[in-house]
Amino acid sequence: MEILDVRPDTGGGSIIARFDAQLSPDVRMFGLKLVKTPRGHRVYPPHTNVHNCATFAPTFAEKLIRAALAALNGEAESNDRSAT
């Protein structure tokens, strides 16, 4: 997994960043949201007006959250491809 781009969200809400990720050599997702909640960080896929475009298993979501937070903080581990 690789974080391709991360953009801090300064809108003042619970969204702390939006990001794009290379999930595998064959799959990229754009416009994911990293959100801080009272229960910790969550990651949300892009959505249409009615439906989410994807879902993530809890263990995969946790890896995605860690990678996005690392990229947001400028840490090199955001490019770790071993989790694919």
pLDDT in tens, 20-69: 999 999 999 999 999 999 999 999 998 888 888 889 999 999 999 999 99
Count Cβ atoms below 10 Å from residue 53 Cβ, excluding itself.
Answer: 12
Dihedral, CA atoms, 15, 81, 2, 17, nearest 10 degrees? 10
Range of the domain at 71: 2-79
Burial class (CB in 10 A: 0-12, 13-18, 19+), 9: middle
List the structure tokens of 47.
């959505």
| 84 within domain boundaries | no
Q: What is the pTM of this model?
A: 0.80
DSSP-based helix, strand, coil % in the chain, nearest 5: 25, 40, 35
| CATH (domain of 50) | 3.30.1120
| 29 within domain boundaries | yes
77 three-class SS: helix
